[in-house]
């Protein structure tokens, strides 16, 4: 197996120059760097990252805890993370918690054992990560959803503003019986979406009937269960804000089973936009989150945390809130009482 000496000899440079090229040091002249790269390729030489890690006490690897890799929302975030990590010479270890707090804890232990330089956390609703990590002054950034007690570095969407805008969209169409299927309320995004919804109703002078507030958990089954409760209500809502992609699929199943047409009988607006939102009938009105940008900015923030902590300063915690986009399609329309003002049972 070729060594660093073989590379230096073939490229006609010193060992130090080869080492600088491997470590991405900018001071190497491009002409020499090209010769070193050509020699490494010709000799099929790959630096020993484990040995290097022991020497510089950094592995150039970060860990990412994802609550559910099967959810396309997180796939978008992961793509943003990986692209930014790669452009800075970092490897990424993705761990799927599958919404299981025990698995999340096991994954955290694995990441520590692998001596990752830092971690990006999309937590389950058990807040394991926070308990494990914050005490250790370990470089970390939370993404998308954060435990209410966590005030460290994070990149999230403007969930409050998004829910407020979505609810105002219903109000603008003339809806007065507006309901919500919430996400997990022990996570910031679930709670902020509910509060944005409440604020829009309050500002429009519309009541929020208790039974029009159905508590879900972001997952499909809860969307179905909560959807049935809303649609079976003696005075069903004419509009439903559903706070995640998977719950919206569950809600659509409930509507299909009850033969309730959308948007004629009930308008629906779902959080998270995906290819299927354009391809279901009716095409779905959604709140689109900047998934890839969320992942990219979280990785950039983590790199700042890693650098500052390795330089012995804990540095300022940062929080970035990204704007969302309301994508209006065909699943939201004025309610029947607006389209056909004949007296209706209320
Ligand atoms: O299921 C996806 C949802 O959960 C998204 O709205 C995202 O915010 C995540 O927390």
Structure confidence at residue 73 (pLDDT)? 93
Q: What is the mean pLDDT of residues 193-210?
A: 96
Residues 145 and 220: their CA atoms lie apart, in Å, by: 18
pLDDT of 148 > 80? The answer is no
Q: What is the mean pLDDT of residues 104-130?
A: 85
Task: Pull the structure tokens for residue 298.
Answer: 């979280």
For the CA of 219, the nearest atom of ligand 1: 1
Higher pLDDT, 136 or 152: 152
Structure confidence at residue 346 (pLDDT)? 47
The alpha carbon of 61 and the centre of ligand 1 are apart by a number of angstroms equal to: 26
- The answer to whether the CB of 36 falls within 8 A of the CB of 17 is yes
The alpha carbon of 218 and the centre of ligand 1 are apart by a number of angstroms equal to: 7
Structure confidence at residue 274 (pLDDT)? 86
pLDDT of 343 > 60? The answer is no
The alpha carbon of 245 and the centre of ligand 1 are apart by a number of angstroms equal to: 7
Q: What is the mean pLDDT of residues 49-57?
A: 60
pLDDT above 90: percentage of residues in the chain: 66
Whole-model pTM over 0.85: no
**Helix residue spans in the chain (DSSP H):** 4-11, 15-22, 30-42, 49-56, 72-87, 101-113, 128-133, 159-173, 188-203, 220-231, 245-257, 275-279, 291-310, 336-339
Residues 346 and 343: their CA atoms lie apart, in Å, by: 9
Confidence band of 138 (pLDDT split at 50, 70, 90): confident
Residues 2 and 290: their CA atoms lie apart, in Å, by: 44
The alpha carbon of 212 and the centre of ligand 1 are apart by a number of angstroms equal to: 21
Task: Pull the structure tokens for residue 313.
Answer: 């300063």
Judged by average pLDDT, the poorest of 140-149, 316-325, 335-344 is: 335-344
Structure confidence at residue 116 (pLDDT)? 92
Q: What is the mean pLDDT of residues 14-33?
A: 84
For the CA of 218, the nearest atom of ligand 1: 1
pLDDT of 192 > 60? The answer is yes
Shortest CA distance to 204 belongs to which of 181, 182, 180, 175? Answer: 175
Structure confidence at residue 167 (pLDDT)? 98
Instruction: Report residues whose beta carbon is within 6 angstroms of any ligand 1 atom.
Output: 71, 73, 144-145, 189, 218, 244-246, 271-272
Which domains does the chain possess? 4-47 (1.10.260.40), 58-156+291-323 (3.40.50.2300), 159-289+327-339 (3.40.50.2300)
Judged by average pLDDT, the poorest of 127-136, 213-222, 231-240, 273-282 is: 127-136
Q: What is the mean pLDDT of residues 66-75?
A: 92
**Ligand 1: which of 187, 245, 287 to mutate, judged by most atoms within 8 Å of the beta carbon?**
245
């Amino acid at each position: 197996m070729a060594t660093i000496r073989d590379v230096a000899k073939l490229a006609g440079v010193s060992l130090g120059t080869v080492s600088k090229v491997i470590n991405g040091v900018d001071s190497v002249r491009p002409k020499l760097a090209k010769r070193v790269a050509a020699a490494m390729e010709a000799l099929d030489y790959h630096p020993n990252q484990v040995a290097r890690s022991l020497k510089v006490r950094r592995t150039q690897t970060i860990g990412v805890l994802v609550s559910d890799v099967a959810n396309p929302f997180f796939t978008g975030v992961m793509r943003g993370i990986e692209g930014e990590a790669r452009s800075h010479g970092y490897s990424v270890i993705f761990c799927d918690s599958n919404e299981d707090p025990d698995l999340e804890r096991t994954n955290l232990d694995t990441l520590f054992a692998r001596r990752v330089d830092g971690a990006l956390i999309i937590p389950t609703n058990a807040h394991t990560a926070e308990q494990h990590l914050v005490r250790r002054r370990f470089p970390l950034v939370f993404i998308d959803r954060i435990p209410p007690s966590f005030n460290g570095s994070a990149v999230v969407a403007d969930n409050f503003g998004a829910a407020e805008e979505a609810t105002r969209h219903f109000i603008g169409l003339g809806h007065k019986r507006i309901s919500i299927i919430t996400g997990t309320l022990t996570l910031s995004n679930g709670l902020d979406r509910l509060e944005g919804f409440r604020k829009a109703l309050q500002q429009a002078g519309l009541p929020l009937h208790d039974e029009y507030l159905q508590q879900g958990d972001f997952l499909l089954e809860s969307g179905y269960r909560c959807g049935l409760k809303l649609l079976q209500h003696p005075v069903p809502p004419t509009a439903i804000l559903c706070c995640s992609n998977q719950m919206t699929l569950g809600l659509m199943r409930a509507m299909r089973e009850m033969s309730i047409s959308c948007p004629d009988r009930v308008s629906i607006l779902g959080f998270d936009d995906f290819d299927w939102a354009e391809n279901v009938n009716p095409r779905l009105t959604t709140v689109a989150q900047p998934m890839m940008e969320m992942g990219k900015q979280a990785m950039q923030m983590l790199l700042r945390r890693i650098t500052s902590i390795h330089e012995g300063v804990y540095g300022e915690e940062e929080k970035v809130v990204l704007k969302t986009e309301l994508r209006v399609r065909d699943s939201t329309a004025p309610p029947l009482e607006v389209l056909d003002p004949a007296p209706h049972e209320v």
